[in-house]
Amino acid sequence: MTGSGVLIPRERNPLLLVLSGPSGSGKDSLIECLGRRGLDIFRVVTVTTRPPRPGEIPGRDYVFVSTEEFERLRAGGQLLEYAQVYGHWYGTPKEPVRQALARGQDVLLRVDVQGARAVRQLCPGAVLIFLTPPTEEELVRRLKARRTESPAEVARRLQKVREELAALPMFDYVIINYPDRLEEAAAQFEAIVTAEHLRVNPRRVCLD
């Protein structure tokens, strides 16, 4: 008599995916590409005190708030992580993360390396992915093409990149975002998600 039970029962735990990398690595472009490809993932929008750049849409790219409002969120324990970068505050609201995980939905955070380190400490089960251009020259080209930073700011960001690369061993995966090969980077990101859901010992994410 043949049994009808599942040979290998599987438990599908939602993932907390953390995408980080230097300014100009293409994090926003990658996220947009993943959306076009139909990846079922909940992206948590970062809160920031910096003013919007040309073309940025409040609520989609960032939640733009005053310094006073940011401090209220921080003091009330409503931020999963927060950091000051180039004179402005950035933080990840905690409640949307908790709600999405409770629904069983994979969650994506877009944070800088400081934020990734904070998430790793709070949630050891998070999946940390580092996105980077192939060369320093390509990174400089992308920063200059944005036309949002002065030459001095580009130099400062480049120095920060060198510091951020020292934190690479903290991450689980690295994706190299080559010019004109964004779809390849997106496919690699999707492959990471698939592999993580096939782990024999799945990751577990717990938020206080």
Residue whose entry in the numeric block shows the structure tokens 């043949």: 2
Instruction: Give yes or no for a contact between 14 and 202, defined as CB atoms under 8 angstroms apart.
Output: no
Q: What is the pLDDT of residue 147?
A: 67
The pLDDT confidence band at residue 35, using thresholds 50, 70 and 90, is: very high
Residue 10 above 70 pLDDT? Answer: no
Query: How many Å apart are CA 54 and CA 81, to the nearest integer?
Result: 26
What mean pLDDT comes out for the span 180-205? 95
Does the pTM surpass 0.75? The reply is yes
Neighbours of 110 (CB within 10 A): 23
Query: By mean pLDDT, which of 42-51, 66-75, 118-127, 133-142 is the weakest?
Result: 133-142
Strands 107-110 and 16-20: parallel
Query: How many Å apart are CA 205 and CA 16, to the nearest integer?
Result: 7
How does pLDDT run across 109-164, given as a tens digit for each residue? 999 898 999 999 999 999 999 999 888 788 778 777 766 667 777 777 777 777 88
The CA-atom distances, in angstroms, between 165 and each of 108, 124, 170, 180 are 21, 20, 10, 23
Angle of CA points 116, 120, 97, to nearest 5°? 80
Residue 193 above 90 pLDDT? Answer: yes
Q: What is the pLDDT of residue 143?
A: 73
Residue 2 above 60 pLDDT? Answer: no
Query: By mean pLDDT, which of 3-17, 30-44, 89-103, 129-143 is the weakest?
Result: 3-17
How does pLDDT run across 82-122, given as a tens digit for each residue? 988 888 999 999 999 999 999 999 999 999 898 999 999 99
139: its two tokens: 């990174």
Residue 62 above 90 pLDDT? Answer: yes
Q: What is the pLDDT of residue 1?
A: 47
Q: What is the pLDDT of residue 3?
A: 57
Residue whose entry in the numeric block shows the structure tokens 């782990």: 199
Query: How many Å apart are CA 198 and CA 191, to the nearest integer?
Result: 11
Q: What is the pLDDT of residue 139?
A: 76
Query: How many Å apart are CA 190 and CA 83, to the nearest integer?
Result: 28
Residue whose entry in the numeric block shows the structure tokens 């709070």: 122
- Percentage above 70 pLDDT, the chain: 94
